[in-house]
Amino acid sequence: MTTNNPEVSQYVLPGNGASFNAHPLVICTRAQSAETLKVPGFVSNDGSLHVRVTGNKKDWQSIALESGEEFAFEQAWTFTPVGITKKSNSKILRDDEGAPFLWLGDTVWFGLTDRISNSDWKQLMEKRTAQGFNVMQVVSGLLPEAGFGEPATLLNGVASWTSDKSKLEKKWWDAADVKVIDAVQAGQMPALVGAWSYYILEFGAEKLKEHWSEMIARWAAFPVFWCIAGEVGLMEYKDLFSDDMQERALSIQQMWKPVITHVRNTDPWHRPITVHPCPAFNFSSVEALQGDKDLDFVWLQTGHADVNSIKSSLSALNKAQKDSTLPVLNSEVCYEGIAGGSPAMIQRYLFWTHVLQGAAGHTYGAQGIWAFHDDATSPGAMWGWVPWQEAAKLPGAEQLGIAAKYLRSIKWDGFTPANNSMKVHADLEHTYRPWAGKTGDHLVAYFPPVSMAPAEMGISFELATIVFTTLEKNAKYTVEIINPRTGKIEKSEKVTANADGEWHFTSTNIASPLPTMEDWIMHLAKSS
């Protein structure tokens, strides 16, 4: 384990670096091993040439161009996220110290725009970190539900490319630098999306490779994730639902593959790679790319239809887990408040069911925050007019943070689905019944609210007694009942499984021994 916080150091070439090509390779020689690493540099708006490396200046013997010109140490940043540079060999993500990484993300697609000030951005990042979030999903300049250069997409008053699309606009990139680094120093690991899918039709693959080279040169040394394209396969919005929509989507998905290869070959720090799918064509990254060989982890996007998205979301999770051995998580589903629906209860349901069924984490989103809504002309305003400052206070985010903190406290190491550990349990046809998963010696069950049961059931008595069936015979367990709205442990007791390995949870309540008909968590841990 490291004793010091992770660090990134920046070096500068004395003199004017503007005469160099956009991303010259810099030879970085490690101090202890003398190992050399070729790291792309970048030119800032003032014309100076910089390069960023992990660690501090004691870690590097020399930083120089292939021609021999030496760089000088300029500055360093410290932060707390350890970062991930290895492809996972299991169903969960692990950081570079080997610790399980339970992903809890928020969706801030328009964070690198003038729609949120630097000070408000920093406060939001610090708030989310305190709540328990550790990932921010944000787009690097070429944004959804907008066209290139539209006012809503600008940062520091400019786009990420010059207006004629001939070269990168370094004024934008210097401003984006501030926000990305502020997010990292606030405790977040940005999941950076290079561009929304349809920009490849406008810019072409070669320019988007250059776009990605700039991202890698500036940010790959920091603890980040790469999403090569948002809603990969999506064409221009005017062409949606055309007769040849599926064929067009497949063609665009193929266009992105050389960009993925470029990122993998260019990034010296090997940050994890995925793509964001479009549910009009595919629910998962694996389906979008016709396999997982180009991926390091899998994202889902499964719709925003409130309770009507539940079955399709869990089906997509199940399918993606069968299609790939990589970690899977839902990167976009049912933003809180979108289209007037998907309240905090749905947020809790989606988090707990996905994670208990083996997801590597979950991403939250709120209507109002993803595009930083301020008036009826905001991107995505058709989905709802919640000002972003109000959306940032919605209860679902706090409650998912509580859930993530609790799982980390019991040393979550990925769940194995264990629905059959209960006599009455959920499946895809009975999504209103309890779901369960095992992690280590812990069995955790989520009981959805009674309101999610079919109307024709009325008040069901199928859970009047909750029976756990796969316990160790005659073993003692500690049982906790947890309120997922507050994190409070409402009840804790010692119980003993019977000779059949069962424990029957009963009470005087007529329909269920749980405290109320709301949703609840039960946690069973074998006693020492």
Helix/strand/coil (H, E, C) string of 395-455? HHHHHHHHHHHHHHHCCCCCCEECHHHECCCCCCCCCCCCEEEEECCEEEEEECCHHHCCH
Percent of the chain with pLDDT over 90: 92
Residue 510 lies in a domain: yes
Confidence of residue 1 (pLDDT cuts 50, 70, 90): very low
| Of the residues 370, 386, 409, the one at which a domain ends | 409
Average pLDDT over residues 417-445: 97
For residue 203, report the phi and psi dihedrals to the nearest 5 degrees.
-100, -30
Token pair, residue 305, equals 């239809």
Q: Taken in order 250, 262, 91, 447, is the CA torsion positive or negative?
A: negative
326 and 179 in a common domain = yes
184 and 208 in a common domain = yes
Residue 84 lies in a domain: no
Residue 369 lies in a domain: yes
Question: Tokens 């190491």 map to which residue?
Answer: 413
Q: Coil, strand, or helix at residue 208? A: helix
The average confidence (pLDDT) of the chain is 95
Q: Residues 200, 258: contact at Cβ < 8 Å?
A: no
Residue 116 lies in a domain: yes
The pTM of this model reads 0.96
Round to the nearest angstrom and report the end-to-end CA distance of the chain.
27
308 and 222 in a common domain = yes
Residue 393 lies in a domain: yes
Q: Convert the pLDDT of each residue in 31-80 to its tens digit.
A: 999 999 999 999 999 999 999 999 999 999 999 999 999 999 999 999 99
Question: Tokens 């000002």 map to which residue?
Answer: 387
Cα of 229 vs its chain's centroid, Å: 14
Question: Tokens 């070959």 map to which residue?
Answer: 265
Cα of 367 vs its chain's centroid, Å: 17
Alpha helices per DSSP H over 92-239: 118-131, 170-185, 199-203, 205-219
197 and 129 in a common domain = yes
Confidence of residue 21 (pLDDT cuts 50, 70, 90): low
405 and 268 in a common domain = yes
180 and 319 in a common domain = yes
204 and 58 in a common domain = no
103 and 48 in a common domain = no
443 and 388 in a common domain = no
Residue 14 lies in a domain: yes
Q: Residues 282, 319: contact at Cβ < 8 Å?
A: no
Burial category of 85 from C-beta neighbours within 10 Å (exposed 0-12, middle 13-18, buried 19 and up)? middle
The CATH number given to whatever domain includes residue 260 is: 3.20.20.80
Compute the 3-state secondary structure of the chain and give helix, strand, coil in percent, each to the nearest 5: 30, 25, 45
| Of the residues 409, 432, 452, the one at which a domain ends | 409
Question: In the predicted model, is pLDDT for residue 386 greater than 50?
Answer: yes
Burial 14-43 (b: 16+ CB within 10 A, else e): eeebeebeebbbbbbeeeeeeeeeebbbbb
Q: Which of 1-10, 34-43, 160-169, 358-367 is predicted least confidently?
A: 1-10
Range of the domain at 443: 416-526
Average pLDDT over residues 206-224: 98
